[in-house]
Structure 1
């Protein structure tokens, strides 16, 4: 390892090693309770983040509203009628209100073939949160959409990890879904699949509403210049165009959202504080976006406004949760090289994953050709773990990991700021998504670009 750090950068990193601001940000967000897109809690969280940005030295901080479809949870219930027993459940966002009583059918992992073979018409489908070992990833929206298309009248999403509580997760992006749906624990799922083998009947009820609402993005800048002084036009060369450092601050309403994505916001705040004190060859836009969990609405709005002037995006969604950083490079050779370079020079492990995916805030930019890094972390286990359940709480967070990932994020952005990564080619990107068979899931989520048809 041989990295002759400038004295200024070394001093900044030394301060970041002792910085308790990332932990304070996670704490402030976790205290709010619900931060679901379009909710009062999400608006309050935007103010928390704006204040944290300003303390970090981010300039020109503003809160920018945008319209969304806000989903509000009421009561939900699930009863195994054949056994006369009720179970805990949580409604899945954008579930419509309604009650259904029908035979329950086990559709396994919820693959299209399993759903076709199960005859779910007029019945309630139960699908696992996981996917078959060695197969492509299936998003819950694809499983739900396949069940709807096959005529199911209700949908149950069963956690595959024992003791991890009922899971949540949006059924559609920014619009009301078609049939009532809930999440249940692995233990409840076991009872339901057992009942399915015996022709058992389930009663499922959801009270919820979807209505026009408002969310907001929090934006600011660090680095040289402001306005036109920073230079716009991401294809101008000589470090043309801004970089974008972004994380989503909304979270599902059943938990504190400390891991998903309080940690990501905290890492961005810590990195922004470091970047504000570093010498940078180009401006970095810093943003916290709303409504990621309910449809990438905030990042889509941001991409509409600035993607043409952004040279590359660093999306912090999943960093800060576990010790080792994962860099998803989304088919960009240049961002992969940046991640590998910082790993080599720091001696800190950064596992690189090159395959693109559309289920986080880099996607509205990648779709428009903007190279991306998504910073994540990995527990080594399959599935979401505590996230998207009521167990996503602050006690799972390690302040040391937040600081380390903030430092690495700052170094990655600093290195990326010295590069001029080429734009992504649309046809090549389409082929990469075809190669990992993402089209069915993207169509189910409404994410397949029209221009790719």
Structure 2
């Protein structure tokens, strides 16, 4: 097949990806294990068919589904007052009363310096100043639990009365109850911690067997090797998940609308997965079904399409930088390249199998998640132009990856790199350090 000269131009004027993003956001609750997540997978499958993909299917996988019940949270001393709080996925049910202890950003040093054992800790969602990577919620929670905390309170650093959400563990119930509270509530809790305050927390929740879903399709010639392009279509139950990761899913739909009209040297598998927000479950299920040697590379579209400039995280494969530079030159568009390496998105199940993986994100206007994981992650904050442009750039990247190989990462080198970046202690606290790396 010869590239259609109109393929990229048609996408620029194509309303489909923007309309798809609107329809996806309209589904509301897309948390894995619930009906909205399956409807999202079916919506994607329809979009893949419309783009001309073959072998389109919606494939289920088993998981532990977390069900939200009621949450009550309040200060009992030196005053009595209640605050809005959201139980965090995989929080167990429980009733806790104890002193409130401020542990700042929740670093091991801050936790060690505080009187945590038997008490309720409050930690900010913010990454500590000077840390050149995201300091993840699961790390903070894991360190607090290891120090004996009886409950965990995750306080947003973004103002606007927005309690955050986010899973505590991968696919299983956590050890102690945990909730998210707004930045404004966090300010009050730190004030009460300074006044020897006490809090009471009651969480009702359940973790039961459930089912998630992946939507798949195929483009390009039938070859022994393939490039895998994926994004997660699940979201949290408290919002529309339009930015995280509706924009990424719409970007994959935009990519698919180009792939059928351009020359590809190898097979390309396009997938959207469920279960990312609760443990990278759909991606792990997918990785288990494909021989690692078959996968030429993986493109994880998590965060792309949100803002103007595309950002790529190379995750331990520096050779991606040269490919991305060629894409930027061909399109006369900036692509920001970052050598970030972390285990908290859908590239990870592939990367730990030594498959080269690049993550496509956006250059964000602020540090941290912003509106993500809150009630404010809504469709009105999206821009279809970003989705279309990132789709074009990503399609160029995919085409290049079907034409040229990048070196496969070495597990020992990845482990050493993660250790040098200070991630191992947090990964061990979150219980996600690969056992076969010991």
TM above 0.5 = yes
Note the C-alpha offset of 1:8: 3.6
CA distance in 2, matches of 1:30, 1:412: 27
- Quick check: 1:134 aligned with 2:137? no
Where 2:278 maps in the other structure, the secondary structure is: coil
Note the C-alpha offset of 1:444: 2.5
Partner of 2:414: 429
Cα contact 1:164–1:389 (8 A) shared by 2: no
Note the C-alpha offset of 1:9: 4.1
Partner of 2:95: 99
Partner of 1:108: 104
125-134 or 135-144, larger mean C-alpha shift: 135-144
Within the candidate set 336, 347, 353, 1:362 is matched to 347
CA distance in 1, matches of 2:145, 2:354: 33
CA distance in 2, matches of 1:7, 1:418: 14
Partner of 2:279: 295
Equivalent residues in 2 for 1:382-393, closer than 5 Å: 382-393=367-378
Cα contact 1:318–1:375 (8 A) shared by 2: yes
Partner of 1:238: none
- Quick check: 1:42 aligned with 2:37? yes
Gap change, CA 1:58 and 1:445, over 3 Å in 2: farther
- Following TM superposition, where does structure 1 have runs of at least 4 consecutive aligned residues deviating by more than 4 angstroms? none
- Quick check: 1:181 aligned with 2:173? no
Partner of 1:85: 81
CA distance in 1, matches of 2:145, 2:171: 18
CA distance in 2, matches of 1:130, 1:95: 21
- Quick check: 1:263 aligned with 2:263? no
Within the candidate set 168, 178, 203, 1:206 is matched to 203
- Quick check: 1:276 aligned with 2:260? yes
Within the candidate set 10, 23, 28, 1:33 is matched to 28
Where 2:175 maps in the other structure, the secondary structure is: coil
TM-score, structure 1 normalization: 0.94
Gaps of 5+ in 2: none
Cα contact 2:73–2:85 (8 A) shared by 1: yes
Cα contact 1:355–1:432 (8 A) shared by 2: no
CA distance in 2, matches of 1:214, 1:147: 30
Within the candidate set 346, 349, 366, 1:381 is matched to 366
Within the candidate set 217, 220, 229, 2:217 is matched to 220
Within the candidate set 10, 17, 22, 1:22 is matched to 17
CA distance in 2, matches of 1:325, 1:351: 6
Partner of 2:140: 143
Cα contact 1:247–1:265 (8 A) shared by 2: yes
Where 1:75 maps in the other structure, the secondary structure is: strand
Note the C-alpha offset of 1:374: 0.5
Q: Which string of whole-angstrom CA distances, capped at 9 and with x for unpartnered residues, describes residues 255-284 of structure 1?
A: 000011111010000101101111111110
Within the candidate set 391, 395, 402, 1:406 is matched to 391
CA distance in 1, matches of 2:343, 2:361: 14
Where 1:417 maps in the other structure, the secondary structure is: helix
Cα contact 2:91–2:168 (8 A) shared by 1: yes
CA distance in 2, matches of 1:8, 1:426: 37
Cα contact 1:30–1:393 (8 A) shared by 2: yes
Equivalent residues in 2 for 1:68-79, closer than 5 Å: 68-79=63-74
Gap change, CA 1:137 and 1:406, over 3 Å in 2: closer
CA distance in 2, matches of 1:69, 1:7: 46
**RMSD of aligned alpha carbons:** 1.3
Gaps of 5+ in 1: 1-5, 225-229, 233-240
Partner of 1:3: none
TM-score, structure 2 normalization: 0.97
Cα contact 1:50–1:63 (8 A) shared by 2: yes
CA distance in 2, matches of 1:137, 1:274: 33
